[in-house]
Amino acid sequence: MIDWFSGNEGYIQGALVAALLAASVQVALRAGVLSFASVGFYGVGAYGTGYLTATQGWGTAPAAAVVVIITVFLSWLLALVLARLRALYLAMATIAFVLLVQIGALAWDSVTGGPLGLFGIPPALGTGGVAVILAGVLAVNALTQRGAVGRRLLLLRKDEALASALGVNVRRQHQIAFVWSAVLGSLAGISQASLLTVFTPENLGFSVMVSALTALVVGGTWHWSGPLIGGVVFSWFLSAYLGFASDYRGVVEGALTVVVLVFLPKGLAGLSELLDPRRLRRAAGTPTGGPGGVSAGVPGGVSTGPDRPVPAPEMGVSS
Amino acid sequence: MTQQLVNAIALGSIYTLFSLGLTLSWGILNVLNLAHGAIFTAGTMFAFLLTEHAAGLPFAVVLAAALVGSALLAVLMEAVAFAPIRARSGNALDAEMRTLIASVAVASIIVTVVGIQSDHQPYALPQSLLERHRYDVLGVHVSNVQILVLVAAIVLSALLVLFVRRSRYGRAMRAVAFDRTAAGMVGISARTLQLAAMALSGALAGVAGVLLAVYLGAADAHMGDSFLLKAFAIIILAGVGSLEGAVFFAYALALVETLVGYYLGGDVRDALAFVLIVVILVLRPQGLAARQGWQRA
Amino acid sequence: MTAVLELRDIKVWFGGVKAVDGVSLALEPGHLHALVGPNGSGKTTVVNTMSRLVTPTAGQVFLDGQDVTAAGPHEVYRRGLARTFQGIRLVEGLTVRENVLLGVQELPAARSRAGRRRAAEAADEALERMDVHHLAQVAPAALPYGVQRRVEIARAVAGAPKILLLDEPVAGMSAGERQEISAVLGRLRDDGMTMLLIEHDLRFVLGLSDHLFVLNFGQLLAAGDPAATAALPAVQEAFLGRKHVPA
């Protein structure tokens, strides 16, 4: 057992960080926020921790705490600035933010170490520590997928105008999701810096975004367990079979993501749902009572229901 | 300084070709295609492979082949990934999100393959492909490559604008950008239009890539990344779907970047596009040069 | 008696298009008001202005005597203004009961633990009132159109709103379904719910409403007793001119 663990520790660590980053993207998407800022805040987390510990000699715990506070502040500010943006415009602005962080990683030598990066970051967290962080994050995400909060998130994602007409403060909910997403991205960066003890601009490249999105999509975009499943499948099994730096990793990840997006929209986490008999019945729409037992004297089940053309939705809030 | 301006014009020409393709796919398919930079890179790889395996081909043939190859690649991406995803998406936001992620995935495939092909090293198109000449015009050095880049950008963007304004396809494209269901009214199926838009978009990216590789003398797998940020800024300034606006702001951005880089240094220059994006999105989300009826706001 | 909802000289201009051009009206407690007008007369824009989805170019909106012109849609909902939309807007992936819970869970009263329990009870009562309680665990997409509409109305009334706006609730429905919804609205009226029913079919609202507003080209053409107002020549002309022949 111990031999197996030490033999695979690198892969396990990769899986944990990938799952954290995927969870970060997920919490934005599930609230209907098309944001990819996660990778930017991953950089903020990693460089912030690296700078405070390796360069300034702080302990890992206070460094991580300060970095998380900075992340909250920065992301809240960014959320305020981007508050009016929706959909692709927001996606574009957040991708621009990621690109800016990448430029900053190369250019801001005195903090990031420039192209050479930061060395000698203390490995204080360890695999166990990162696993605990991930477990905590997944627990919060699992709890907020149920009950009133879960319903609110689904409503936000499916129909923003309806959400606001049912009392949801859409802008505020989006800001909360954005900040929570940023914090998870930052935690992924803090974990990665501590696990690798080295962080360079190479660690912040395009492939990081690809891996996170692949883990999320393959694992399951809408279920709290998706990032974990995807992280394990990708960073662990795939790395173990392909090798970490396999030339073809980018091809395998990309191809699998497209296939899953087209054929399995709920990812691997959706498979279990398909097998759940309760869900099956619900999906088939078999009512528990008689179909449409309607008020007196009105012929109930006459209409065709779902395939009737529905008028186009009105203008949204943000037109 | 005058020399810098000549460089800015060449850079602006590349920005123009790159941005036109991206704004076209966004305006017509409502997709933010993050694989656009990868297709741009793929164009240089097509040209590189062609010159390796069939040395001595004239430049025009190589350029045309790269154009066709990139267009086919973009069409393939639309047919295999974007279209099936759109067809199965619950609502607009869902479709936008999933095509966006798919474009990242496709970019990953292309960039990885180009990386393997080039052994992760920069690769150069042979000098013999296009002999370089330098001219002295009023004390400023101008190369034939710079002239070629400028002429190509002007001719291609003029052709594109004419096509969109005058042809039946172009009118249908404008109609679709305004209203998804409108294409049928012009007698062209939405499916055909989407494929045509992606083909044009890919072709423009491929040409831009080859011209840049010739201009710089080298290319590498990640060269498309930095252009995405610039193109975002240009599209936002111009308003999504505005072709004339994209041309204007491509040159404007290149000029301002060159000036900023000259006076304030390279780091400030690189951050300029991001700052512009944020400022414009916050102040005027519909773009500076927005017009009704062609872009969806 | 103060009006539950009041519009004062509301103007909504989209670019050069004057969708609503100076509308003033007041909705009295306990009445079922109807707002009719030909297609494109600005009805939906009026509702969207009331529910704050559209910000008026000029004019004011008062809810229960308070100026809510600058409030957000979520704020007016929390203050007791509920609405339905023209198309069915039920959330896929939630059951009928979960959809109705959405109508109560964001209200200030549902913040405490006890409040949440009372809110859930209110949702269950609304399901019963709309006669859909036996469908509570069903996915709404599979239900007939008329039943889906009743689920939406259950969601809107679960939080006991001060006023309910219904934007063409029977658009695209069969005669049987129209009767079904008409009966539901009649019962709500008898229970004392203040309502505004938006409709392009004059005939549908005549027997149902007790106060009629007629909108044409973004302006109020007439208002008052339904039968008398509908008989006015100007109203007849507005509808006949667009081939909507009332009874």
Residues B71-126: pLDDT tens digits?
Answer: 999 999 999 999 999 888 877 888 888 899 999 999 999 999 998 888 888 888 88
Are C155 and A306 in contact (CB < 8 Å)?
A: no
Neighbours of B273 (CB within 10 A): 26
More confident residue, A133 or A253: A133
Are B115 and A250 in contact (CB < 8 Å)?
A: yes
Q: Would you tell me the crossing angle of helices B144-166 and B168-178 to the nearest 10 degrees?
A: 80
Give the side-chain half-sphere CA count within 13 A for B267: 10
Q: Which residues contact B219 (CB under 8 A, 6 or more apart)?
A: B41, B44, B45, B48, B122, B123, B124, B125, B209, B212, B213
Residue B178 — pLDDT band, cuts 50, 70, 90?
low
Q: What's the pLDDT at B285?
A: 59
Q: Are the C-beta atoms of A26 and A226 separated by less than 8 Å?
A: yes
Taking residues B277-294, report their average pLDDT. Answer: 60
Q: Are the C-beta atoms of B101 and A261 separated by less than 8 Å?
A: yes
Q: State how far the Cα of C100 lies from the Cα of C122, in Å rounded to an integer.
A: 9
**pLDDT tens, position by position, A106-133:** 888 888 888 888 888 888 888 888 999 9
**pLDDT tens, position by position, C124-134:** 999 999 999 99
In chain C, residues with a C-beta closer than 8 Å to the C-beta of A306 are: 141-142
Of B32, B92, B222, the CB nearest to A91: B32
Residues in chain C: 247
* A264 vs B: CB within 8 A: no
Nearest to C207 by CA among C235, C185, C222: C185
Are A99 and B274 in contact (CB < 8 Å)?
A: yes
Q: What's the pLDDT at C186?
A: 92
In chain A, residues with a C-beta closer than 8 Å to the C-beta of B93 are: 32, 34, 87, 157
Q: State how far the Cα of C102 lies from the Cα of C58, in Å rounded to an integer.
A: 32
* A171 vs B: CB within 8 A: no
Helix/strand number for chain C, H first, E second: 9, 10
Element (H, E) at B287: none
Q: What's the pLDDT at A276?
A: 57
| Residue ranges covered by each domain of chain C | 90-159
Residue B43 — pLDDT band, cuts 50, 70, 90?
very high
Query: Between residues 65 and 84 of chain A, which touch chain B (CB distance below 8 Å)?
Result: 81-82, 84
Give the side-chain half-sphere CA count within 13 A for A34: 23
Count contacts between A and C (CB, < 8 Å). Answer: 162
Are A300 and C184 in contact (CB < 8 Å)?
A: no
Residue C120 — pLDDT band, cuts 50, 70, 90?
very high
Taking residues B272-278, report their average pLDDT. Answer: 83
Q: How far is B141 from chain A (nearest CA, A)?
A: 31
Angle formed at CA C81 by CA C75 and CA C82, multiple of 5 degrees: 110
Are A165 and C77 in contact (CB < 8 Å)?
A: yes
* A33 vs B: CB within 8 A: no
* B292 vs A: CB within 8 A: no
Count contacts between A and B (CB, < 8 Å). Answer: 134
Please give the mean pLDDT across all residues of chain A. Answer: 80
Choosing among B26, B85, B108, which should be mutated to test the A contact, i.e. which has the most A CBs within 10 A?
B108
Q: Name the H helices within chain B.
A: 2-29, 36-53, 59-77, 83-87, 92-117, 144-166, 168-178, 190-216, 225-238, 243-264, 266-283
| Residue ranges covered by each domain of chain A | 2-204
Of A32, A91, A96, the CB nearest to B229: A96
Query: Is it the case that residue B263 has pLDDT exceeding 90?
Result: no
Q: What is the three-class DSSP state of C136?
A: coil
| C163-167 and C17-27 strand pairing | unpaired
Q: State how far the Cα of B121 lies from the Cα of B109, in Å rounded to an integer.
A: 17
Structure tokens at A232: 């394990």
* Residue that has been written with the tokens 């520590």 in this structure: A129
| C58-63 and C66-67 strand pairing | antiparallel
Of A155, A284, A289, the CB nearest to C102: A155
Structure tokens at B222: 């990640």
Q: State how far the Cα of B61 lies from the Cα of B70, in Å rounded to an integer.
A: 14
Q: Are the C-beta atoms of A118 and A49 separated by less than 8 Å?
A: no
Q: Write B58-61 long-range contacts (CB < 8 A, 24+).
A: B59/B129, B59/B130, B59/B214
Q: State how far the Cα of A62 lies from the Cα of C84, in Å rounded to an integer.
A: 51
Are C44 and A314 in contact (CB < 8 Å)?
A: yes
Helix/strand number for chain A, H first, E second: 15, 0
* A91 vs B: CB within 8 A: yes
Q: Are the C-beta atoms of B235 and B20 separated by less than 8 Å?
A: no
Q: How far is B128 from chain A (nearest CA, A)?
A: 31
Query: Is it the case that residue A285 has pLDDT exceeding 50?
Result: no
In chain B, residues with a C-beta closer than 8 Å to the C-beta of A207 are: 108
Residue A244 — pLDDT band, cuts 50, 70, 90?
low
**pLDDT tens, position by position, A152-185:** 999 999 888 999 999 999 999 999 999 999 999 9
Query: Is it the case that residue B136 has pLDDT exceeding 90?
Result: no
Residues in chain B: 297
Are C72 and A289 in contact (CB < 8 Å)?
A: no
* A248 vs B: CB within 8 A: yes
* A32 vs B: CB within 8 A: yes
Residue A52 — pLDDT band, cuts 50, 70, 90?
very high
Neighbours of A1 (CB within 10 A): 5
Are B97 and A258 in contact (CB < 8 Å)?
A: no
Q: Are the C-beta atoms of C83 and C51 separated by less than 8 Å?
A: yes
**pLDDT tens, position by position, C65-85:** 999 999 999 999 999 999 999
Taking residues C165-174, report their average pLDDT. Answer: 90
Q: How far is A24 from chain C (nearest CA, A)?
A: 23
Q: How far is B250 from chain A (nearest CA, A)?
A: 17
Q: Which residues contact B275 (CB under 8 A, 6 or more apart)?
A: none
Q: State how far the Cα of C53 lies from the Cα of C55, in Å rounded to an integer.
A: 7
Q: State how far the Cα of A70 lies from the Cα of C35, in Å rounded to an integer.
A: 53
Q: Are the C-beta atoms of C127 and C100 separated by less than 8 Å?
A: yes
Bridge partners, residue C14, by sequence: C17
Alpha-carbon distances, residue C68 vs C11, C52, C63, C71, C75 (angstroms): 15, 8, 6, 5, 9
Touching C (3+ Cβ pairs <8 A), the chains are A
SS (H, E, C) A1-27: CHHHHHHHHHHHHHHHHHHHHHHHHHH
Of A161, A285, A303, the CB nearest to C145: A303
* Residue that has been written with the tokens 């807007």 in this structure: C89
Q: State how far the Cα of A100 lies from the Cα of A27, in Å rounded to an integer.
A: 22
Where is average pLDDT lowest: A219-233, A272-286, C214-228?
A272-286
Please give the mean pLDDT across all residues of chain B. Answer: 84
Angle formed at CA C179 by CA C178 and CA C184, multiple of 5 degrees: 100
* A253 vs B: CB within 8 A: yes
Taking residues B132-136, report their average pLDDT. Answer: 80
Q: Are the C-beta atoms of A67 and A186 separated by less than 8 Å?
A: yes
Neighbours of B31 (CB within 10 A): 30
Of C88, C110, C180, the CB nearest to A295: C180
The Cα diameter of chain C in Å comes to 57
Of B105, B226, B281, the CB nearest to A93: B281
Touching A (3+ Cβ pairs <8 A), the chains are B, C
Q: How far is B230 from chain A (nearest CA, A)?
A: 9
* Order of all β-strands in the sheet with C17-27: C17-27, C5-14, C58-63, C66-67
Neighbours of A312 (CB within 10 A): 9
Q: What's the pLDDT at A110?
A: 87
Query: Is it the case that residue C247 has pLDDT exceeding 80?
Result: no
Q: How far is A317 from chain C (nearest CA, A)?
A: 5
In chain A, residues with a C-beta closer than 8 Å to the C-beta of C98 are: 151
Residue B296 — pLDDT band, cuts 50, 70, 90?
very low
Structure tokens at A148: 């009133």
Alpha-carbon torsion (A34, A38, A39, A41), positive or negative: positive
Q: How far is B156 from chain A (nearest CA, A)?
A: 26
Are A300 and C74 in contact (CB < 8 Å)?
A: no
Q: Which residue of B has its CA nearest to A158?
A: B91
Alpha-carbon distances, residue A81 vs A84, B160, C112 (angstroms): 8, 35, 33
Q: Are the C-beta atoms of C72 and A115 separated by less than 8 Å?
A: no
Structure tokens at B196: 């045509």
Bridge partners, residue C23, by sequence: C10
Nearest to A107 by CA among B261, C27, B85: B261
Are C134 and A282 in contact (CB < 8 Å)?
A: no
